[in-house]
Structure 1
């Protein structure tokens, strides 16, 4: 397997904040030419056996996946885990603890929205939730669009739910070291997800990559749905500077909301080591 492989190693199902089932995602990925797929639900591995079975039914190779929320430099950063044992008890326990605060946070978000005249947001958001333990800003955003408060989710995040706006409640996630350790002890590989999204200063970003590598992190998403062509180049250089493998993933959530569909990204630059080469013995076929 080489960098010319159409691998999509970042997407979300109804088990977290996507709108499609693992089975429908597998079918969509296959139809779009994906050869190696991973489902990476937020802080959750409950859909892994379904996703692996669906990939096998479609004739697609599969890597187990998750996306763990961590707090680094007072910012929420996402760490993707790939190729781990989906039945690992320590990983499952860590993710359950990370999910634990979402319910209280959601109630606080709804209370803030009520103060600006938007009633019933918690109950409304729950209508869009596939897994009540994983209620998130995305579900509130879908409620605000459905009820006509905003015309689309982009407007939601301009007006609400982000720092300094009504409905924003920070959540204390796992530490970077915890997330990398849970993944690696379960036999997987940790990947920094969409690094351009965090808007870190150069020093903060250097600290993230350095600490991530010290904890045993092995890869970074270079080609991803939220990166520009210029950012592909930036993070290809960062991967080489830090000796990290490169990953590729659309971060697909929904046919109606996601700008990048499964399997439609450019291929990884050829000079990089694809993360799937390091995980070849963990690929399910």
Structure 2
């Protein structure tokens, strides 16, 4: 069993990279990809932890947020985290993330919930600031009862506190990942705001600049979605990846490797990704 979509405290997860590796191994998982949002800061510690475990593989990865009509992310696998092009791009992305954080704080304050970036950073553990950190802040200050409520009512796309500004396009994300020696896959297709011919054309355009595949197995997919995305990958000649989007206690309903309980991705998926 494998899980190719996980997060650590380097972005918006609650387990450190080393704790994530230990947790995955304890759950009987043979390989994970650490795919933190817009950062590779957790990879060295995760690789070191994995090297101490026989028969366990840590795949260096990343999840890049890109400009799009919906919420579109591009996963990178097998990347060289020391690559200069990648790190230069991540520095620019960090700059835009900070600006987005200030805009989020401004939006929430204008909506009657005064908050600051500095307050939200207290929840980031030194990692990149993300919506989940603002959600926890809203709960701490009594503006919302739960993190889920804060995310749903205030920080999701289209809600008052959301800021959609991103630093790069999907095409640029693919090119950056490829420059770092990695393979690019579009994550959780159901959040992109595209379907049918629009989604097909989007993926075909990305394939022309080097897209390797799409995330066909994902915690929140229905069986119908999974079948649809497998067929879509086949029609475009794209490979298939999959993962739970594990975040630890920030998404307590999702367990590593199994999602809501019934998910299981076999090692053959990873083998085919390597072909």
Same fold (TM over 0.5): yes
Alpha-carbon separation, structure 1, partners of 2:251 and 2:273: 32
Alpha-carbon separation, structure 2, partners of 1:188 and 1:275: 14
Structure 1 position 78 matched with structure 2 position 78: no
CA offsets, 1:124-167, max 9 Å, x none? 311111235x2121110111123332222321133212344321
Range with greater deviation from structure 2 (59-68 or 109-118): 109-118
Which residue is equivalent to 1:195? 189
Structure 1 position 232 matched with structure 2 position 229: no
Match of 2:62 among 63, 66, 75: 66
Alpha-carbon separation, structure 2, partners of 1:16 and 1:268: 24
Alpha-carbon separation, structure 2, partners of 1:71 and 1:173: 7
Which residue is equivalent to 1:3? none
> Which 4+ runs in 1 deviate beyond 3 A?
267-270, 275-278
Judging changes above 3 Å, is the alpha-carbon distance between structure 1 residues 184 and 51 closer, same or farther for their aligned structure 2 residues?
A: same
Runs of 5+ in structure 2 lacking a partner?
Answer: none
Which residue is equivalent to 1:16? 11
SS at match of 2:114: coil
Alpha-carbon separation, structure 1, partners of 2:34 and 2:157: 29
SS at match of 1:9: strand
CA offsets, 1:178-219, max 9 Å, x none? 111111122111111111122314232112211121111111
Distance apart, 1:226 and its partner CA = 2.2
Structure 1 position 122 matched with structure 2 position 122: no
Give the structure-2-normalised TM-score. 0.91
Alpha-carbon separation, structure 1, partners of 2:64 and 2:107: 26
Structure 1 position 48 matched with structure 2 position 56: no
Structure 1 position 182 matched with structure 2 position 176: yes
Alpha-carbon separation, structure 2, partners of 1:39 and 1:163: 25
Alpha-carbon separation, structure 2, partners of 1:258 and 1:212: 33
Match of 1:91 among 63, 86, 93: 86
CA offsets, 1:225-259, max 9 Å, x none? 22222211111111111111111111111235242
Structure 1 position 27 matched with structure 2 position 33: no
SS at match of 1:64: strand
Q: CA RMSD in A?
A: 2.0
Which residue is equivalent to 1:136? 130
Match of 1:153 among 147, 158, 183: 147
Runs of 5+ in structure 1 lacking a partner?
Answer: 1-5, 281-285
CA offsets, 1:36-70, max 9 Å, x none? 11111111111111111112223311211000111
